[in-house]
Amino acid sequence: MCEGGLNNGQMKHAVAMVNDSLAVSQEHLEQLHHLADHAGRAETSIELAQVTVMLGEAREKLDVAVAKLDAHAHDDVTVELL
């Protein structure tokens, strides 16, 4: 993928797959946070809530990375006429 340049489509797809997996993990942690909270495990609930927020921040960073990828989409493209 990198020897001849970067395929933006492949990179976007790979980042989207990671983002999707983080979204699933974020949802599961949110549910665990609520379960711990309802069970009176406040300290555990707080930690799980913080991890949920961190995953949200990581997903935002992925969105920024893709946007920057788009901004530089033509930087390494060359056209050779035959």
Q: What is the pLDDT of residues 32-66, one digit of tens each?
A: 999 999 999 999 999 999 999 999 999 999 999 99
Say what the pLDDT of residue 8 is: 87
Say what the pLDDT of residue 9 is: 87
CA nearest to 61, candidates 29, 15, 9: 15
Tokens of 19: 């983002």
Say what the pLDDT of residue 73 is: 64
* 3-class SS of residue 72: coil
Tell which wins on pLDDT, 72 or 56.
Answer: 56
CA nearest to 54, candidates 44, 46, 43: 46
Q: What integer is the mean pLDDT of 71-75?
A: 66
Question: Average pLDDT of the chain?
Answer: 88
Distances (CA, A) of 72 to 12, 25, 39, 58, 68: 13, 30, 49, 21, 6
Distance of alpha carbon 63 from its chain centroid, rounded?
A: 7
